[in-house]
Structure 1
Amino acid sequence: MTAASTPKERVLAAALQEFAEHGVAGARIDRIARAARTSKERVYAYFRSKEELHAAVASDQLQQVMDSTSLDPADIPGYVGALFDFYVAHPEMLRLVSWGRLEPGGELTATDASGHRSLQAKLAVIAQGQADGILDDAFEPIDVLMLLVNLSMGWLMAVEMHRFEDVDDPDVLARRRAAAVLAAERLFPPRPAARPSAD
């Protein structure tokens, strides 16, 4: 949090750390308020409940992912690499996702119109790439996006595998990133754009 951040921005930043560390059930508004240098009353003035605050944090994080990565149907491996880099730089995002999978109502979803539009835009790009013959249409667009997201975050979230390799070692991260990108390339090899018929 920077000195120039607003009280609401500080609350969201503190809430992200709190939810990432403790999940929805274990998160405490008083800790969030202290970390944000404000009062519980101010937090509740912005968000009526802990669940509403979590929804705002989750939506904000999803929006950041959508805005920080560009999906080009002609460069699917590049998209997976960019997502991998984003998750490495934002480990709290992965913890938020992990908690969401454990807790009812804790899912990381787009709860506002902008988040929904960003997701729909990614799916539309995939569908257009398939229509143009650039991208294999064997999968539905939503399945393509799901596969790419899971390739990008799979190893980072598979904590049981981290005992075999140091997740903080740059060389290990580089190899795991290369593996995810290669898998995306094998699943969705680049195709030349279809040319119109001369007839």
Structure 2
Amino acid sequence: MPPVTSPEATRERILAAARSEFARYGIAGARIDRIAKSAKTSKERVYAYFASKEALYRLISGQELAAIAEATGMDPADLPGYAGRLHDYFTTHPERFRLMQWGRLELDPAEAADDPVQATMAGKIERLRRAQEDGILDPSWDPIDIVVLLNQIAASWAGYADLAPVGSAERERFMEARRAAVVNAVARLFPTAAPS
């Protein structure tokens, strides 16, 4: 007789399998039957836990956003440091960068009122707006431009790992220089205001 597994263990296996599937194939290309096979369960069981493939993706992207926030910690008083941490996260985990990009490409944010990406962006924009009001950041930038430009600069090398040299020491020096360029670019664009 096969071992009995808890519903929670099955759900976690489905989430792990779906995370890998979405990162590799996107939302449209992901297949529930492959997710079920990888999770060692049935397609019907996947649908018993998750109403649709899109709902499953939104849950996973929300979890990933929480992991990114915990690993990188946006500090409006140190946006260059934040950009460096984002760069590190995405160059270390390019599959997670791909996972998040698929949602931007394939989902209509207007279709889900509780879209985790929209909620995260709104929270960051509000924090930046308060930092501007407190005199920490230059108020001439629209906070949404700060978030989008900073994210694009920080993640710029996540999609270009193939340009890095192959040797480990040479590659490490190359990526350190790329990180320094990211931090420097953000420091120039969004310097912290000098104390009055």
TM-score over 0.5 for the pair: yes
Maintained 8 Å contact 2:19/2:60: yes
Q: Deviations over 1:40-77 (max 9, x none)?
A: 12111111222221222222222322333222222110
Distance, in Å, in 2 between the alignment partners of 1:55 and 1:193 is: 41
Maintained 8 Å contact 1:55/1:111: no
Distance, in Å, in 2 between the alignment partners of 1:167 and 1:154 is: 21
Instruction: Judge which range, 11-20 or 46-55, deviates more.
Output: 46-55
Task: Tell me by how many angstroms 1:151 deviates.
Answer: 0.9
Residue correspondence of structure 1 range 158-173 to structure 2 within 5 A: 158=160, 162-163=162-163, 165=165, 169-173=171-175
Q: Tell me what 1:58 maps to.
A: 61
Q: Tell me what 2:192 maps to.
A: 190
Distance, in Å, in 2 between the alignment partners of 1:133 and 1:173 is: 33
Higher helix proportion, which one? 2
| Count of residue pairs brought into register by the alignment | 188
- Give yes or no for the alignment of 1:130 onto 2:132: yes
Q: Tell me what 1:83 maps to.
A: 86
- Give yes or no for the alignment of 1:44 onto 2:47: yes
Task: Tell me by how many angstroms 1:98 deviates.
Answer: 3.8
Distance, in Å, in 1 between the alignment partners of 2:29 and 2:119 is: 31
- Residues 93, 54 of structure 1: alpha-carbon distance in 2 compared, 3 angstrom cutoff: same
Amino acid at match of 2:11: K
4+ residue runs over 6 A deviation: none
1:139 to 138, 141, 144: 141
Maintained 8 Å contact 2:94/2:159: no
Task: Tell me by how many angstroms 1:110 deviates.
Answer: 8.6
Amino acid at match of 1:122: K
Maintained 8 Å contact 1:59/1:112: no
Instruction: Judge which range, 17-26 or 185-194, deviates more.
Output: 185-194
Instruction: Judge which range, 94-103 or 138-147, deviates more.
Output: 94-103
Amino acid at match of 2:13: R
Q: Tell me what 2:3 maps to.
A: none
Q: 5+ unaligned residues in a row in structure 1: which ranges?
A: 195-199
Q: Tell me what 1:179 maps to.
A: 181
Instruction: Judge which range, 37-46 or 179-188, deviates more.
Output: 37-46
- Residues 8, 164 of structure 1: alpha-carbon distance in 2 compared, 3 angstrom cutoff: closer
Q: Tell me what 1:197 maps to.
A: none
Distance, in Å, in 2 between the alignment partners of 1:78 and 1:167 is: 27
- Same amino acid, percent of matched pairs: 43
What is the alpha-carbon root mean square deviation over aligned residues? 2.9
2:41 is paired with a residue of what secondary structure? Answer: coil
Maintained 8 Å contact 1:77/1:181: yes
Task: Tell me by how many angstroms 1:190 deviates.
Answer: 2.5
Maintained 8 Å contact 2:84/2:183: yes
User: So what's the TM-score if we normalise by structure 2?
Assistant: 0.81
Distance, in Å, in 2 between the alignment partners of 1:157 and 1:10 is: 28
Q: Tell me what 1:32 maps to.
A: 35
